[in-house]
Amino acid sequence: MNLRTLLCAALISSVSLFAQYKVEPAAAMPEGVPSTLAGALAKEGLKITAPDGKVLAQVWLRTTPPPSTTENEDTVTWTGVAHGAFIGLIHFPEKHADRRGQGIAPGLYTMRLSFFPVNGDHQGVAPQRDFLLLSNAAEDTDPAATPKFNALVDASKKVSKTPHPAVFSMWKVESDFKPGFDKMGESDYVLQVKVGEQPIAIILIGKAEG
């Protein structure tokens, strides 16, 4: 192998090493978004593109504050928001997976706020109990609905096709808000965005340790 070949190989390696995900405005919402959901979402979404150029996901978030509640939840960061509140819509053009490694088929999904139960089954999964559960958008068309825990879990199991719902860990960002999609820790990639005026963080790629 000559010097020129070695230099080219090193250049390709360095480009791959520093390749990053890109976040840019999404185009129009894909076909199939229920009109009731579309009316509650920001017209402009976000498109996340992987280092290989493939679109990882497109995300649209609600424009108004989510429904509130006076109930208190321990170890919850986004307090005052009703369980089951509609947060946004996500589109995966190709198969994805949550942090548990559960497959998520290409398609459109609603994201609703939930809190995992304090029953010992989620020890060490995350320091907070805030999660977003995915449901099929074609079957979850009311942005004003606030489904109870069991109903939301049952709907999300249809996405994961396992005994566990399809979930993304999330939390309210209190400080150092950095809009975009960046690596955090060993294996997590986190989207930081605003829902209305509230900054939040969502782990879209990662591996659960618990």
pLDDT at residue 37 greater than cutoff 90: yes
Would you state the structure tokens that stand for residue 66, as one six-digit string? Answer: 């989510």
Query: Per-residue pLDDT tens for 88-134?
Result: 999 999 999 999 899 999 999 999 999 987 554 544 455 678 999 99
Asked if 143 and 40 touch (Cβ cutoff 8 Å), the reply is: yes
Query: Per-residue pLDDT tens for 135-182?
Result: 999 999 999 999 999 999 999 999 999 999 999 999 999 999 999 999
- List all residues 6 or more positions away from 140 whose beta carbon is below 8 Å from its beta carbon: 110, 112, 155
Query: Per-residue pLDDT tens for 63-73?
Result: 999 999 988 77
E strands present in the chain: 22-25, 46-49, 55-61, 86-92, 96-97, 103-104, 107-115, 130-136, 167-172, 180-184, 188-195, 198-205
